Amino acid sequence: MSKKKGNKLQVEAEIKEVICIKDNCRITVYAPHISHIAKPGQFVMVRTTDQTINDPLMRRPFSIHQVTDNEFSFVFKIVGRGTKLLSDKKKSGSLNIVGPLGNNFTIAETGNHYLVGGGMGIAPLYFLVEYLKKFSPSKNISVMLGSRTAKEFEIFSNFLNIDGITLKISTDDGSTGHHGLVLDLLEETVVKKGDGTVYCCGPYPMMQAIAKFCKNKKMNCQVSLETIMACGIGACLGCAVAGADNIRQDYVHVCKDGPVFEADKIWK
Ligand SMILES: Cc1cc2nc3c(=O)[nH]c(=O)nc-3n(C[C@H](O)[C@H](O)[C@H](O)COP(=O)(O)OP(=O)(O)OC[C@H]3O[C@@H](n4cnc5c(N)ncnc54)[C@H](O)[C@@H]3O)c2cc1C
Ligand code: FES
């Protein structure tokens, strides 16, 4: 069942799969109305309880991780009540979802593609890789993913099955891949200045460091931001973030202006 609200859809989506590895989960839902129009970088707002219970009242935002025909999935870490309730959902129940919301990564027409993700910020990059392979097949795609540990990365093991890309992994404790920062991987991968576009999602300090690297290398950098969100559709102004222009004090609203921004619009 789907209801149209402006150009956003509210759907009651059948749950096809719930997988949890420790505190990290992936839920796949049958939602053709959303999966047919979604673009990489967009997100959905998910009710964590059924319609009769209003606690938690607010929907929770999640990036669209993977789209296959009529289904899409999102991946999340259990950090509070909403995500705990979602992790307890059972296959063949349903979820009330609004989406797709926000803007998307802009696919650069020239240069190579560098995708950099950290923690749960890895989630939107799977959809982006699949999209780039389809719509930008002649370009090199390098994917660099950073996690705390090998165990934390397991929920994203589907990246290991993507062919035709260069995939590098880093962990904070060295339990798999490079022992260190994902920025180290980007530094060793980008060999010359101006060589394409970096698409980035992860913790703020990581994205700031990546943005600085891109500035020095004269590379385009797109970052996907996360904030606490209440409405997800531009109505509550709760997701405001200060933009780079401190003099004009220009604020951006992550849900409607983003979540994807050119890095230099956020950090000078
Ligand atoms: C556009 C967007 C996309 C997102 N995509 C993903 C995703 O793909 N996977 C994923 O795991 N998470 C994602 N998040 C974050 C996710 O929405 C929150 O983790 C979730 O709402 C927490 O709900 P909760 O009820 O479990 O936690 P709460 O009980 O609401 O909060 C628990 C703790 O988490 C913190 N928290 C709550 N919301 C956020 C937030 N948005 N960002 C950072 N910290 C928060 C709170 O401050 C608190 O410390 C995304 C957020 C945004 C804005
Ligand atoms: S979350 Fe309400 S305006 Fe962005």
Q: Is 230 in the pocket of ligand 2 (CB under 6 A)?
A: yes
Share of the chain above pLDDT 90, in %: 83
Strands 166-171 and 141-147: parallel
Tokens of 187: 């530094």
Question: Tokens 């097949």 correspond to what residue?
Answer: 137
Residue 244 has pLDDT above 90, yes or no: no
The answer to whether 150 and 171 have CB atoms below 8 angstroms apart is yes
Query: Is 70 exceeded by the pLDDT of residue 12?
Result: yes
Secondary structure class of 164 (helix, strand, coil): coil
Show the tokens assigned to 131.
């999209």
Residue 101 CB less than 6 A away from ligand 2: no
Q: Is 20 in the pocket of ligand 2 (CB under 6 A)?
A: no
* Distance in angstroms (rounded) separating the CA atoms of residues 88 and 49: 11
Which residue's C-alpha comes closest to atom 11 of ligand 1? 76
Whether the predicted pLDDT of 138 surpasses 60: yes
Picking from 153, 252, 146, 149, the residue whose alpha carbon sits closest to that of residue 203 is: 146
Q: Is the pLDDT of residue 4 over 70?
A: no
**CATH no., domain 113-224:** 3.40.50.80
CB 35 within 8 A of CB 71: yes
Q: Alpha-carbon distance 133 to 214, whole Å?
A: 23
pTM exceeds cut of 0.85: yes
Q: Which residue is associated with the tokens 């390098």?
A: 142
Q: How far is the CA of 226 from the centre of ligand 2 (A)?
A: 12
Phi and psi at 251, nearest 5°, equal -95, 145
Query: Is there a shared CATH topology between the 2-101 domain and the 113-224 domain?
Result: no
DSSP E strand stretches across the chain:
2-5, 8-21, 24-30, 43-46, 60-63, 66-68, 71-77, 94-101, 113-118, 141-147, 166-171, 178-179, 197-201, 220-224, 240-242, 251-253, 260-262
List the residue whose alpha carbon is closest to atom 36 of ligand 1: 228
| DSSP symbol at 53 | -
Q: What's the Rg (C-alpha) of the chain?
A: 18
What pLDDT is stored for residue 3 in this prediction? 62
Q: Measured from the CB, is residue 228 less than 6 Å from ligand 2?
A: no
Given a cut of 60, whether residue 266 has pLDDT beyond it is yes
228 CA to centre of ligand 2 in angstroms: 9
What is the CATH number that goes with domain 2-101? 2.40.30.10
Domain layout of the chain by residue ranges: 2-101, 113-224
User: What is the atom index within ligand 2 of the atom nearest the CA of 235?
Assistant: 3
Q: Is the dihedral of CA 144, 146, 149, 153 positive or negative?
A: negative
